[in-house]
Structures are given as structure tokens and as C-alpha cells.
Amino acid sequence: MCYHFGEDGASGANWNPYGDFQIKVEKGTMPTDWTIAPEDIDSTIATAQSTADDAIGRITTTNTQVAQNTSDISQLKIDK
């Protein structure tokens, strides 16, 4: 349930002269905590997965380059 309250104390479900001031009205004595929306969690996981995939790709490329450089150095030693 959401009501809009103005600075002069007037209220009502459709009253809105300056903007929305939303409050949460709960029944009972135990307040509920704020929770993140499931779609926000999915988005965060997708971003983390993409970042991890990019890092894996860069690590793989670096390992390949190190192996190639090691091979090139070994070849230089043999040629001397």
C-alpha cells in the first residue's frame, strides 16, 4: 500500500502536488527488510559472468604468448 503525503500534511492516494513521497505501511510488529529485486540479481550475475569470461580469455591469451616466448627463447639458445 502506498500513500502520498505533502508538506502540509494533506494526504490521499491520488494527491501529488510536489512529487511522490512513498512510504511502506506494514501490518504487525515485525518490519520486513528491503530485498533486491530478482531481475537485479540476475543482471549482477550476468555481469560477473561476463567479467569472468573476459578474464579467462585474457589469461588464456597470456599463457599462449608466454608459451610461445618460451619456445622462441629456447630456439635462440639452440641456434647459438
DSSP track, 29-42: SSPPPP---HHHHH
Residues 42, 26, single domain; the answer is no
Number of domains, the chain: 2
Beta bridge partners of 22: 4
Confidence label for 49 from pLDDT (cuts 50, 70 and 90): very high
pLDDT at 5 over 60: no
pLDDT at 1 over 50: no
Mean pLDDT, residues 47-68 taken together? 97
CB 31 within 8 A of CB 43: no
Domain limits for position 44: 35-80
pTM above 0.85, yes or no: no
Residues 41, 80, single domain; the answer is yes
Residues 40, 78, single domain; the answer is yes
Residues 75, 41, single domain; the answer is yes
Residues 69, 52, single domain; the answer is yes
Top-confidence residue, 37 or 66:
66
